[in-house]
Amino acid sequence: MAFVVSSGELATTGAGVLPAYAPATFRAQPWEYETIWRTQPQVRTVIGFIARNIAQLGIHVFRRISDTDRERLRDHPLAQLLDSPLPGMTQYRFIERIVSDRALYDNFYGIKLKLNGRLRVLPVPPTLIRPYGGNWIAPEYYETAGGRQFGVDEVIHIHGYSPTDMTYGESPIEALRELILESSQAAKQREQMWRGGARLTGVLVRPPDAPEWGKEERRRFREMWRTFSAGGGAEGGTPILEDGMDYKPVGFNPEQAQYIEARKLNREECAAAYYIPPPLIGILDHATYSNIKEQHAHLYQDTLGPWTVDLQQEFVAQLLPDLPDSQDVYCEFNVEAKMRGDFESQATAASTATGGPWMTRNEIRARNNLPAVEGGDELIVPLNVTQGGLASPRDTAPEPDALPKARARPVETKAGQPSPDDEPALRDQFRTALQEATEDELARLVEAEPDGADAVRAWWESGRAERQARFVKVLEDFMVRLGLVGARRVLDEFNPSDEGWSAEVMEPWLAVAALHHAQLHDGAGEEAAAAAVEEVPAESGVGAALLVAGAVWAAAALTRSETAATEAVSFGGHDAAEASGVGFKIWRTTSSDPRSQHLVMNGEKVPLGGTFSNGLRWPGDSTGDADQTANCQCNLEYEMEE
């Protein structure tokens, strides 16, 4: 039952203005958390990051009609409440306050009101209200700083975990208290050092055999030195040291004080307390393009996912009972909009899902919170899938074994090969395919439930040949296609008729290279899994360790696909250059490769049969070390004989 007031009585709900009102259940005084939020930039950054990213998602209300159908409710009382919790308060501000209070205090309080017949929620700062009485399961009532009491059903209270009570949550700030105190003391020390230490500090050393000064000499030198040292030595000109005097600095400089390292550590610890990957809040020491992209996707799954699920369920549990027409009604944050990718990715995925034989249109519409359409429960099977034998209506590229051969049918060969413009798309597909194959192998390992590192290695050895064969299938497929892309680029420039070149000569070499990459990738997975299981405590089980190893292996799959793709494109172009009478090759470093040696090599020219200064024949050459080939995306240009 909501607390009923008129709009004129909104200010009399009893939420007073006593700044030092402390709920009895808090171990620490909550106004200390306010001070920490105001004065500690790392805490404010992390809490603001969580609150702003959740608030900007938006939250929608639905009614579940069936397991595959739902209806968006725009005019339902819950949708109206979340859209406008108070007159003049937006949904963004409401959600931001809820999340900020939860993040800072681990408690959010709101008083239920009825204004002009509509349910509203008045957010109350946790310093101005407290649960009172009752027991460790539930309070008897809530009391505000002004002494007003509200029943349990008149207050919405969203809180986290406490090891001693079920009526409130304990702030994560408590876990950071010592770190924050240390940071505060360090800041005071730095302030004092900058006040004194930023000036030129030190001692003057006068040789023991120097003549003794009289009063006048001492006074003159003292005035000269004071004039010089005013403003840190920047305003007084140049000092004149007499009688062999020497100046020796004392104290320590900002580098020795490790200002940047201390601040970075504070931010990392705060981020860890709230389970935020450091690169997302500006700590880029170990960030790369690929892992930042993956962490952005994980942001709405692992970092913010638990927050959104918690709020969705709390709204249903604490607000829906006070509203009419609540049967099968629920709410969801619009996380899907952040996970869909760009327009082209969405269009490709939607076309494949709705046009292929594995999903109906209504099923994909239900996943996107859209209502069912008439006739949408029938599978659509395109003719090219039933008659062409393809796996997807978008899969129009032929299998490598079916590619026409260059010498016998040059015109058909060009038509059947991927073009150089297809390289970016093929690289993306390669990454996805190898990562999915890696995830499938990890699922097999988790299903086997090995009980230790020895069991992991035994499982790995027992299925090594079959597993590597599955990897080879993926690797060889894409490496052949990418090799044809590299060859086509060179042939179009130097040998349009394909004279003297044949794909049949190139493909066996790429098949051997694919096997080599499969063996390396398989070994990387084995080492990651065994190492993770060895490090996990025996009582924790191996499940969590295998998931960690899986994340490492999945990241290795991204690197492996890029390395193999670069090698395939490079070899294909080199093979075509040999058949076309090209005399020289030139190394070109792309902006995506930050290796200092590769940057220096940009423009290096050698004979076609020679090697570059790093010992490689081409970018991604498998004869080179991993530090030269891993994730390399450089390429070659060619010149004819002079």
Radius of gyration of the CA atoms of the chain, in A:
34
More confident site: 156 or 230: 156
Q: What's the pLDDT at 254?
A: 53
Q: Where are the domains of the chain?
A: 3-174, 341-386, 400-640
Query: Other CB atoms closer than 10 Å to residue 409's CB: what's the count?
Result: 12
302-321, pLDDT tens digit by residue? 888 899 999 999 999 999 99
> What is the 8-class DSSP label of residue 552?
H
482-513, pLDDT tens digit by residue? 999 999 999 988 888 888 888 888 888 898 88
Average pLDDT over residues 255-278: 72
Instruction: Determine contact, residues 567/578, Cβ cutoff 8 Å.
Output: no
> What is the 8-class DSSP label of residue 136?
S
pLDDT-wise least confident of 31-40, 290-299, 361-370: 290-299
Q: What's the pLDDT at 508?
A: 87
Q: 215-238 burial, b for 16+ CB within 10 Å, e for fewer?
A: eeeeeebeebbeebbeeeeeebee
Q: What's the pLDDT at 599?
A: 77
* Angle of the 464-494 helix axis to the 543-579 helix axis, nearest 10: 30
Residues in Cβ contact with 35 at an 8 Å cutoff, skipping those fewer than 6 apart: none
Instruction: Determine contact, residues 18/249, Cβ cutoff 8 Å.
Output: no
Provide the β-strand partners of residue 586.
605, 637
Q: Retrieve residue 624's tokens.
A: 């080179």
Average pLDDT over residues 86-101: 94
Q: What's the pLDDT at 179?
A: 78
CA angle 395, 399, 402 (to 5 degrees): 135
Query: Other CB atoms closer than 10 Å to residue 548's CB: what's the count?
Result: 16
Q: What's the pLDDT at 412?
A: 35
Q: What's the pLDDT at 408?
A: 32
Q: What's the pLDDT at 478?
A: 92
Q: 88-117 burial, b for 16+ CB within 10 Å, e for fewer?
A: eeebeebbbbbbbbbbbbbbbbbbbbebee
Confidence grade of residue 288 (pLDDT, cut at 50, 70, 90): low
Distance separating alpha carbons of residues 642 and 326, to the nearest angstrom = 82
Distance separating alpha carbons of residues 592 and 38, to the nearest angstrom = 40
Q: What's the pLDDT at 191?
A: 67
Average pLDDT over residues 540-563: 79
pLDDT at 341 over 70: no
Instruction: Determine contact, residues 25/130, Cβ cutoff 8 Å.
Output: yes
Distance separating alpha carbons of residues 74 and 104, to the nearest angstrom = 32
Q: What's the pLDDT at 5?
A: 54
CA 144 to each of CA 58, 125, 150, 448, 496: distance values in angstroms, whole numbers, following the listed order: 30, 10, 8, 56, 83
Q: Retrieve residue 519's tokens.
A: 């063996």
Average pLDDT over residues 615-619: 86
Q: What's the pLDDT at 472?
A: 92
Alpha helices in 580-614 (DSSP H): 596-601
Q: Retrieve residue 364's tokens.
A: 């994909």
pLDDT at 26 over 90: no
Report, in this order, helix, strand and coil percent for the chain, each rounded to 5.
Answer: 55, 10, 35
Distance separating alpha carbons of residues 415 and 155, to the nearest angstrom = 70
Looking at residue 307, its amino acid is W
Q: What's the pLDDT at 378?
A: 79
Mean pLDDT for the chain? 78
Q: What's the pLDDT at 29?
A: 55
Q: Give, rounded to a whole angstrom, the gap between the first and last alpha carbons of the chain.
A: 90
Average pLDDT over residues 251-279: 69
Average pLDDT over residues 189-201: 59
Q: What's the pLDDT at 151?
A: 92
Distance separating alpha carbons of residues 601 and 595, to the nearest angstrom = 10
Distance separating alpha carbons of residues 209 and 216, to the nearest angstrom = 20
Looking at residue 531, its amino acid is A
Q: What are phi and psi of 247, to 5 degrees?
A: -105, 125
Q: What's the pLDDT at 320?
A: 92
Share of the chain above pLDDT 90, in %: 21
221-246, pLDDT tens digit by residue? 888 887 776 654 445 467 778 777 88
Q: What's the pLDDT at 405?
A: 39
> What is the 8-class DSSP label of residue 422?
G
Looking at residue 446, its amino acid is V
Alpha helices in 452-502 (DSSP H): 453-462, 464-494
Q: How many residues does the chain have?
A: 642
Q: What's the pLDDT at 460?
A: 86
Full DSSP string of 228-258 = HHTTTTTSS------TT-EEEE-S--HHHHT
Provide the β-strand partners of residue 301.
none
Distance separating alpha carbons of residues 423 and 482, to the nearest angstrom = 7
pLDDT at 354 over 60: no
Distance separating alpha carbons of residues 311 and 103, to the nearest angstrom = 13
More confident site: 15 or 118: 118
Instruction: Determine contact, residues 262/186, Cβ cutoff 8 Å.
Output: yes
pLDDT at 23 over 70: no
